[in-house]
């Protein structure tokens, strides 16, 4: 009999997060859901039969992420957390700025999982949703917020996914007792990916589910980047301790919270 795991999935009102949460709940695991506001959290709760609850919080806001962590911790401790939530801005958009003055893609895709990792008691397993586009990351370490450069939404997304992959690797090194990995779900049929994407959403969620709840030795590894369900080589910077440090420093600067 597979042990029951308690798992929190961010961004689980639709798409890959919803598919992952539904699959784990159907297998008898205790799943906490998340939506960016009360309505989205209620939508998630209605969609996943057997979920233990849903918490709401806007991942674009530092203060909201702090409040969200408090709410999530009421359901903890967790055996695993899947940092699934993410955004991608069209290239035609102006640089989007949060109420904290952060570039939106960085805030949701990097700052939020960093701060939640710092504020949620250490879990046995952490899964960070990356993308094959992280291989096209070209971050400017002096301009994480795109204040000096002409804004490009796709490039900001690529850079953010490189940063969160590096975060996954950094956590693996910082917390040897935690299995921390990054996962490329593929080009999936979600609102972000579009209806013409080749990967069904359930298949896109499968690797994260396996890493969160699996009991085989293949699921008990850390510091890896998974693509097509197996470890693959990541961008060279993701494994560079100096770059990992730069990601942590950028997040600590905007949150005021170190990652221990």
Residue 260 lies in a domain: no
Residue 242 lies in a domain: yes
If one counts the domains in the chain, the total is 1
**Annotated catalytic residue: which of 114, 128, 157, 225?**
157
- pLDDT tens by residue, 14-38: 999 999 999 999 999 999 999 999 9
Mean pLDDT rounded to a whole number for the chain: 94
| Residue 188's pLDDT band (cuts 50, 70, 90) | low
Reply yes or no on whether 157 is catalytic.
Answer: yes
**Annotated catalytic residue: which of 128, 161, 224, 225?**
161
**Where is average pLDDT lowest: 21-30, 87-96, 138-147?**
87-96
Residue 71 lies in a domain: yes
- Residues with Cβ within 8 Å of 259's Cβ and at least 6 positions away in sequence, in order, are 114, 117, 118, 170, 171, 174, 248, 251, 252
- pLDDT attached to residue 100: 98
Assess whether pLDDT exceeds 60 at residue 1.
no
Read out DSSP for 96-107? PB-TTS-BHHHI
| Residue 133's pLDDT band (cuts 50, 70, 90) | very high
> 83 and 116 in contact (C-beta within 8 Å)?
yes
Q: Measured at the alpha carbon of residue 183, what is the angle toward residues 181 and 186, in degrees to the nearest 5?
A: 175
- Mean pLDDT in residue range 61-77: 98
Token look-up 């990792």 returns: 117
Residue 58 lies in a domain: yes
- pLDDT tens by residue, 207-253: 999 999 998 877 789 999 999 999 999 999 999 999 999 999 999 99
Read off the CATH number of the domain in which 49 is found. 3.40.50.720
- Mean pLDDT in residue range 108-118: 98
pTM of the model: 0.96
For residue 56, the enclosing domain spans 6-255
Residue 1 lies in a domain: no
Residue 186 lies in a domain: yes
């Amino acid at each position: 009999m597979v042990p029951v795991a308690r798992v929190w999935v961010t961004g689980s009102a639709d798409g890959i997060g919803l598919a992952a949460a539904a699959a784990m709940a159907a297998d008898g695991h205790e799943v906490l859901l998340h939506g960016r506001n009360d309505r989205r959290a209620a939508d998630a709760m209605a969609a996943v039969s057997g979920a233990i609850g849903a918490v709401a919080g806007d991942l674009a806001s530092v203060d909201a992420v702090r409040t969200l962590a408090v709410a999530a911790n009421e359901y903890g401790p967790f055996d695993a957390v899947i940092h699934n939530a993410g955004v991608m801005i069209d290239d035609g958009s102006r640089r989007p700025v949060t109420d904290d003055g952060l570039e939106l893609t960085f805030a949701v895709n990097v700052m939020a999982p960093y701060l939640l990792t710092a504020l949620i008691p250490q879990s046995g397993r952490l899964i960070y949703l990356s993308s094959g586009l992280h291989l096209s990351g070209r971050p400017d370490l002096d301009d994480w917020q795109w204040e000096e450069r002409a804004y490009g939404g796709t490039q900001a997304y690529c850079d953010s996914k490189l940063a969160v992959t590096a975060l996954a690797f950094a956590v693996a090194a910082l917390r040897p007792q935690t299995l921390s990995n990054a996962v490329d779900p593929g080009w999936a049929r979600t609102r972000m990916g579009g209806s013409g994407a080749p990967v069904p959403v359930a298949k896109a969620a499968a690797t994260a589910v396996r890493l969160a709840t699996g009991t085989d030795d293949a699921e008990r590894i850390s510091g890896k980047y998974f693509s097509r369900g197996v470890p693959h080589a990541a961008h060279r910077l993701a494994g560079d301790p100096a770059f990992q440090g730069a990601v942590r420093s950028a997040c600590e600067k905007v949150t005021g919270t170190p990652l221990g």
